[in-house]
Amino acid sequence: MRYVRSPFPLVAPETPSRSRFRVPGREIVGDARAVGLAVAAATSPAATSPAGDGRAGATPASTPAARLRGTDGLRDTGELRDADEFRDTDEGITGLAVCTAITANTHDVITIELWTPWLNRADFEPGQYLTVHVPELGLDRCYSISSAPFGTNTLTITVKRQAGPVSAYLHDRLRVGDRLHVDGPYGLFSTSFHPARRHLFVSAGSGITPIMSMVRALLARNPPETIDIVLLHSASTPDDIVFRTELDQLAEVPGITVITMCSRDSATEVWSGPRGRIRRDVLESVTDLTEREAFVCGPSGFMDTVRSLLAEAGVSRVHEETFAFATTPAQRLARRRTPATEGVGATVSAGLPFTVEFAASGLSVDCDAETTVLDAALAAGLTVPSSCESGMCGTCKSDLLSGEVEMSHEGGIRPKEIAAGKFLPCCSTPLSDLVIDR
């Protein structure tokens, strides 16, 4: 079995031969949380115990166990296999995590603290993300980890309310004591994979979530005198600034420049800072701009604009991340055109070069070298869990029993999983006949 990877679709040129997608966790001497937060003269949003019904409150709590006292025990969000089935499946964070705190950051953004009791520490790199599965909905979504890897077995994700059902579930129905199936960490959008002496972070809206993870980690891991960070953040109104208090505190730290811009005033506050969106003159005011490693995260339109501005300014090392899913399941199914050749609904073969056999279902489908395996599976009427269609989330991960594929992913699968014969159908095209355990 052979895998052929295409270069990652990042703005900055990457080394095509890179085969590691995850840097082993570092041992941080001493109390990293205290060190990092003391350097920043600020804390991450304080973990809070829910008030009354288990939703976001304002009472500080100390440990995961303490935050669970007074709840009705652990509640499963739907039917799931026993947590032991998810343990030791890989070197990452895979299992039933316990919600131990929910903090309201803004009117439509919350931070959820998750406890992974089966791990001594939650090992991830700053800027990476988790896939969160809600069994009640049968859906998965990706959420960036907003905390830094402080060497504990708790972490946080920060979730903006969107039109979709998963964010609504997390905002309206998740309670302290509930358990969510998480899988990860995934992603290459991290200062760990792109080390530099000078950093430029540009974000809009909830795109600041992975940025804050990286900033917090840089503060915890590096001597204060070596810090050289410029953080540009754009929000619609003052009420929409996520991590506002911490951004104000970071702006007071030597070596860190924070510029927060708002497009308009809110109903409760007249914005006194810079107005509008990120512009060329704002970027050109950054010291040593072209020497910085740039990380950009936000809505797709915002990222298109910033990408162009950075290119015009001569910034060549740019890394991006977005979780925008371009199509709905119905739209994806509508464009499937590959016919099944065996089983229910089978048609006459169109003479395409490769056959993809789904061993568990008994279906076979023809698939050319330009069609992804996921497209072929859905066209054959096979239900394959999927979400991003770009190799980011890992939802469609499957076992390749035989054959060769070309897989071009964005960090949604770990090297150890590839070595074990797993692949991502959403971003893989056949190089030979395939047999898949589906």
The residue that leads in pLDDT, 291 or 438, is 291
Same domain assignment for residues 227 and 294: yes
Band of pLDDT at residue 91, cut at 50, 70 and 90:
low
Report yes or no on 352 lying in a domain: yes
Question: Is residue 385's pLDDT more than 70?
Answer: yes
Mean pLDDT value across the chain: 78
Q: What pLDDT sits at residue 135?
A: 81
Report yes or no on 300 lying in a domain: yes
Q: What pLDDT sits at residue 62?
A: 55
Same domain assignment for residues 317 and 333: no
The residue that leads in pLDDT, 86 or 418, is 418
Same domain assignment for residues 42 and 160: yes
Q: Which of 5-14, 262-271, 277-286 has the lowest mean pLDDT?
A: 5-14
Mean pLDDT of the 399-427 span:
89
Same domain assignment for residues 255 and 169: yes
Report yes or no on 23 lying in a domain: no
Report yes or no on 25 lying in a domain: no
Same domain assignment for residues 316 and 351: no
Domain containing residue 401: CATH number: 3.10.20.30
Question: Is residue 214's pLDDT more than 70?
Answer: yes
Question: Is residue 56's pLDDT more than 60?
Answer: no
Report yes or no on 249 lying in a domain: yes
Do 135 and 80 form a contact (C-beta atoms < 8 A)? yes
pLDDT digits (tens, 9 = 90+) for 297-310: 999 899 999 999 99
Range(s) of the domain holding residue 288: 30-323
Same domain assignment for residues 286 and 426: no
Bridge partners, residue 45, by sequence: none
Same domain assignment for residues 218 and 339: no
Band of pLDDT at residue 50, cut at 50, 70 and 90:
very low
pLDDT digits (tens, 9 = 90+) for 332-378: 444 444 444 444 333 333 445 799 999 888 888 889 988 999 988 88
Same domain assignment for residues 213 and 261: yes
Domain containing residue 267: CATH number: 3.40.50.80
Structural domains in the chain (count): 2
Most confident of 49-53, 100-104, 163-167, 280-284: 100-104
Same domain assignment for residues 93 and 224: yes
Q: From residue 111, how far is each of 95, 105, 169, 239 by CA, in Å?
A: 19, 7, 14, 16
